Amino acid sequence: MNNLLNAENSGTPLIIIEKSAYPEWFESQEKHSQTWLSNTQFKGRGLSLIPNNQGELSQVLFVVADASDYFACGDLIKQLPQGQYLLQAESEHVEAISFGWLVGAYQFDRYISDKSEKALATLAINNVKGNIKIVANAIKFAQATALTRDLINTPAADMMPEDIAQASLSLAEQFGGEVKQIIGDDLLVQNYPTIHAVGRASIHTPRLVDLTWGDSKNPQVTLVGKGVCFDSGGLDMKPAAGMRNMKKDMGGAAHVLGLAQLIMAFNLPINLRVLIPAVENAVSSNALRPGDVVTTRKGLTVEIHNTDAEGRLVLCDALAEAENDEPELIIDFATLTGAMRVALGTELAGFFSTNDQVAADITAAGLKNSDPVWRMPLHKPYDDLFNSTIADMTNCPTQPFGGAITAALYLQRFVEKTDWVHFDVMAFNVRHLSGRPLGGESFGIRAVFDYLETRFK
């Protein structure tokens, strides 16, 4: 990835303009270029490879609707012939174009035998003040995006709790962090009963992964990521269609590791803690049953209404632990509910927050860098839907309406004092979009990082 973008002053000119600017640009071109565009019936959108009088490629034109969209140029790198191209675009768009160029190069080819894909083009942006930093930053963002995608795309057979732990260890080693783990029955000894209850039926031992990094004197931010490596639904088993893509149910863990990589790569002045409850929700003779009552780390008792509402169970123990440190902010990511996908579709990340200013600032950050997020309400009257006759609460209501809200309300009971943000994300592209192939995807981590960078710089 590092060799696909540089700050140099050579290459075939690559002109990227917005559609509204095309008529004026066309009129400014030499006659042979105008003739080429007219004869090829170029409509003022998309890509045109423009030759000179000798038939050699002289310049490339790419017309987009909005050059500030970070994904507008996401497919461009795979459309161009091999070679180096020198970007010519408005300066305010260089950052977005650079990011889109790099994420468009992504391909998950771990299991593909034939990796003889054509060599990709290289983008040069003029070696002037500021552009070297833009290149370095774009690479960091693209690498974090790729990490998140890779973790989600990896099949469950190769991405179980121990594999999430290894990914965390690798990240900590790269940036000078530390990882501790609480594994198997030690979860009961150290009072993480709901993580153990969900994961105990799998031969892949459940665990809590605890990554720390940074100066303890800095403000603490704790990230919590749902790490359900495969979700069969448990004894309330999912149908085949609902189970097909459940390798992505550890998408929350992938998101917090991608976000953690950004925080560490940019060396934000943060005392970072990352908690990942990593389990497989499997079926066995000792699987959690509907009707069981589990006592959580916080001490609240929970009657299990449905074993497929397991993500909130593993998260609630991790969130209770996260608050013990009294951090400045707790942020969790989870592939928690289908209800959020019904509400917002698959391409917009929904989130909840107990702090209005934090929510507004994260939303604003996402709008600036094409990582849009949408705040949902923590509607407290729905708390009554968790009433149980034999325990403090159930793990989900008996009725299906407002499922994303009720899931968030369940989690909120375990974060009483600290400002808290909860993301309920799809973590998967179900159609190809510019710079976003089918499969694992990051949602909201660039928005959150920009917010953290602004707040704690």
Q: How far apart are CA 13 and CA 126, in angstroms?
A: 11
Residue 162 neighbours by CB under 8 Å, 6+ apart: 204, 205, 207
Question: DSSP letter string over 225-269?
Answer: E-EEEEE--TTSPPPHHHHTTGGGGGHHHHHHHHHHHHHHHTT-S
Q: How many residues does the chain have?
A: 457
238 is catalytic: yes
Residue 136 neighbours by CB under 8 Å, 6+ apart: none
Amino acid at 316: C
Q: What is the three-class DSSP state of 301?
A: strand
Task: Calculate the CA 354 to chain-centre distance.
Answer: 21
78 is catalytic: no
Place of tokens 């050579």: 10
Contact 439, 149 (CB under 8 A): yes
Q: What is the three-class DSSP state of 359?
A: helix
Residue 153 neighbours by CB under 8 Å, 6+ apart: 108, 110, 247, 439, 440
79 by Cβ neighbours in 10 Å (0-12 / 13-18 / 19+) ranks as middle
Contact 103, 52 (CB under 8 A): no
Which position among 312, 341, 436, 455 bears the catalytic label? 312
Which token pair is 182?
A: 């609480």
Helix axes 251-265, 445-456, angle to 10 degrees: 40
Contact 302, 414 (CB under 8 A): no
Residue 189 neighbours by CB under 8 Å, 6+ apart: none
Task: Calculate the CA 115 to chain-centre distance.
Answer: 26
Residue 205 neighbours by CB under 8 Å, 6+ apart: 161, 162, 183, 184, 199
Kind plus residue range of the DSSP H or E element containing 45: none
Kind plus residue range of the DSSP H or E element containing 275: strand 271-281
Amino acid at 188: L
Which residues form the catalytic set?
238, 312
